[in-house]
Amino acid sequence: MGGSAVDFPIELTERAARRIAEILRGEPPGSSLRVGVDGGGCSGFTYTYNLTTESAAGDLVVERDGARVVIDPISLDILRGSKIDFVDDLMGRMFKIDNPAATASCGCGSSFAI
């Protein structure tokens, strides 16, 4: 991944990397999962996930075990220090972001406040 969690701004867990790699296998070559933050949601911000074949100057690229995640600089400011995980439990299968900047979150875990 290019460094420890201390000096690398985003951590991608093994479970998340495995699931992202599975998803990307069915996509065009050079595809990535774009993770971002948008305003809105019941707590103020929402996490966004989109498949893309594009990356822009300034994007952070995180690669692990065949997975490729890109994050734009504005979202990175809010996501810095976060851990992206994938959970499969009674609530469903979903990506989960543990964001130290979040001061509150909604019950479904898709929106948060800072």
For 60-99, the pLDDT digits (tens) are 999 999 999 999 999 999 999 999 999 988 777 889 899 8
pLDDT of residue 46: 86
The structural architecture, per CATH, of the domain 10-113 is Sandwich (2.60)
pTM to 2 decimal places:
0.81
Contact 1, 46 (CB under 8 A): no
Section 20-29 average pLDDT = 96
Q: Is residue 26's pLDDT more than 90?
A: yes
Cβ atoms 102, 33 nearer than 8 A? no
Whole-angstrom Cα distance, residue 102 to residue 74?
15
